[in-house]
Structure formats: structure tokens, C-alpha cells
Structure 1
């Protein structure tokens, strides 16, 4: 059975679920699974348009052929090392990034997605564990993993991470509020 691998990382623009995978392959080969539509479609979805102009659309086909096409706003692309994009409508877009590094014949992929809510989006980590394992399977020619091995088995791991971080953030805010009150600066 697969094990959950994600962690939560606080950044200036929010909290991200972050996962890593290591491939015994050159960075350019692994990058092609994020940048070339035929390879992208082997594990997660299809990309159309001209990404270099910002006119791109994405559809997740791993969940079925009836998925909707979504607009992609590319925020950063430094091939073959870094990619960041907002996917979907602007008011509900998903911020996703991918960082690749290569050392000693191995490429490490670090993927992150910003969470809009710690209380409602714990399942995002489960999904990325599943999709990154699909990427591993696509690269090695192994059978695709079964979603039922991921959900609900991994959900508790991500719910606990979200609950713990939410508690820590509230404790920090309470401490800051108490300091402000003590200093007479709490408006």
C-alpha cells in the first residue's frame, strides 16, 4: 500500500501541500513529463495552446474523459528547473509549482499546491500522492496505481497536518494579539 508523503509548508502567499519524488533519470527527461502534452497525458492531463504566450488550457484526463478544460496562467517557467502556474478561473484558481533538481544521475521533483483552506482541502495531498505515483508508473512502464489505495487511506494523514497547522496559526495569532494588548496597540 502506498504511504502519504506530503507535508505542509508556509510561504509568504499561503500554505502549500508539498511532495517530493526522486527519479533515476536526467532532468530533461523528467521535465518532459511536465512540459510536453503527450507525456503529460500519460499521467495527469492534456495541455493545449502556446504556453510561451500564456494562451494555454489544461484538462485533467486521469480522472476521466469528461473533465473540463481550464485556463492556465503561467507565472514562471525556467526550463527544466522551475514552473509555476495558476490553473482554473481567477477567483478559484489553483496555484501549483514544480521544482526539479538533478544530482548524481537522479532528478528530484518537488511539487506544491497552495491551499485555500486548511479545513476544507486536506484531500489535495491525497490527490498529489496519487498523481505523482502515476507519473512514476508512466516513466517506468508499470501499471497505474489504483485510486482506492489512496482515498480514504491517506486522508487522515493530511487532515492531521492541516489540523495541527491550523492550531499553530491560531496560537500564534492569539500570542500576537496578547502582545498587542499588552503594548496598548490593539486598535
Structure 2
């Protein structure tokens, strides 16, 4: 079966995030362990070192190959097993991510978000996270990993359209706000 894109764009106070959900028939603690324990994280994405409880660790995305570089991680929030927020990478180009996990009726929902730096250049981020989260599903089910070629470029148009539409909305809002500000200034100077 060919995977379908599942992400959406969400505006938050600190920027625009690509947000994706996955549902697991499993207890929340089990699903959380795939994000919080390095051996389990390594099964589908990468590995970390350090002591996350101190608010700092290092992470590398093994899914990108054995020569992937280690990145500094600043943990902004951790409320196990429900919430995690972190900045990954150098401070000037770090990518911010968050996880929200909820459990109900024997199922755990994972909501993952990653902040985009530039709508015009980061549509592939959504494709990548659809792929990575499907790798998590495969790891938990002890199934073969999905093939990147089933995701990219097939899903790229979906995310490019989301980015273009939101970019257009933001430009219109900015123009309307600018027009309103200009009108307010002319009203006060009359």
C-alpha cells in the first residue's frame, strides 16, 4: 500500500509547525519509551547520549546514515510520558520539535510537531516526518522499515501546497494589517 501524507500546518505563537498524528494500540508508557530510551529510539530514528533529565543531551539521526553528526539538544519541557519539547542543533539554526502523547481506551495518540524556519523551502520536512513516524510504527510492530522512495517525491506536492496556501494567507494578513495601520496613522494625522 502506498503511504498517504498525514501532516498539516499549525500556526503557533512561535511560528508555523508541521504536525502529524499516529495512533498506537499500546499503553502510553510503551510508546513513550520509543522517544525516551536511546536503544528504542535507535530502532526507528536515531540515538542520544547524555542525561536528558538535566535538560541537555546530544542526538544524531542514524536514519540518515552512520556518519550522521551529533547535534546538541536543549530540552525545553519534559513531562513523561505526556509531553516533550526540545531544540535540536546549533542555536541559530536549531529545529524545534514537540511531542504530545495521550492515552484513551487502550490507545495512545502521538502528536508530533516540528517548527518550520521557511515555508518556501521546507515542504520536504513534512514528507520526512511522515516517513520517520511510519518507521516508528514498523519498529513497534517488528515489520520491515518503509522505503523512502514511496514517500519522496510522491508526498512533496501535498506539503508544497500546504506551505504555499499558508504563505499566501500570511501575506494577505500582513497586507491587511499594514493597510489598517496606514489607515489608522492617516486618521490620527487628519
TM-score bin, normalised by smaller chain: over 0.9
TM-score, structure 1 normalization: 0.98
Partner secondary structure for residue 44 of structure 1 = coil
Displacement after TM superposition at 1:54 (Å):
2.5
Give the corresponding residue for 2:145.
144
Q: Deviations over 1:8-65 (max 9, x none)?
A: 0000000000000000000000000000000000000001110111231001001210
Displacement after TM superposition at 1:177 (Å):
1.1
Partner secondary structure for residue 49 of structure 1 = strand
Q: Deviations over 1:122-169 (max 9, x none)?
A: 100000000000000000011100000000000000000000000000
Count, aligned residues: 187
TM-score, structure 2 normalization: 0.96
Q: How does 1:160-171 map to 2 (within 5 A)?
A: 160-171=161-172
- Which whole-Å CA distance do the structure 2 matches of 1:67 and 1:173 have between them? 39
Give the corresponding residue for 1:33.
34
Partner secondary structure for residue 63 of structure 2 = coil
Q: Deviations over 1:74-100 (max 9, x none)?
A: 000000000000000010000000000
Q: Following TM superposition, where does structure 1 have runs of at least 4 consecutive aligned residues deviating by more than 3 angstroms?
A: none
Displacement after TM superposition at 1:178 (Å):
1.1
Give the corresponding residue for 1:8.
9
Does residue 115 of structure 1 match 2:116? yes
Two-structure CA RMSD over aligned residues (Å): 1.3
- Which whole-Å CA distance do the structure 1 matches of 2:97 and 2:55 have between them? 15
| Alignment CA distance shift 1:185-1:87 (3 Å) | farther
Q: Which moved more, 1:177-186 or 1:106-115?
A: 177-186
- Which whole-Å CA distance do the structure 2 matches of 1:158 and 1:6 have between them? 8
Does residue 183 of structure 1 match 2:181? no
- Normalized per residue, the structure richer in helix is 2
Unaligned residue ranges in structure 2 (runs of 5+): none
Give the corresponding residue for 2:82.
81
Unaligned residue ranges in structure 1 (runs of 5+): none
- Which whole-Å CA distance do the structure 2 matches of 1:54 and 1:10 have between them? 26
Q: Deviations over 1:99-120 (max 9, x none)?
A: 0000000000000000000001
Displacement after TM superposition at 1:179 (Å):
1.1
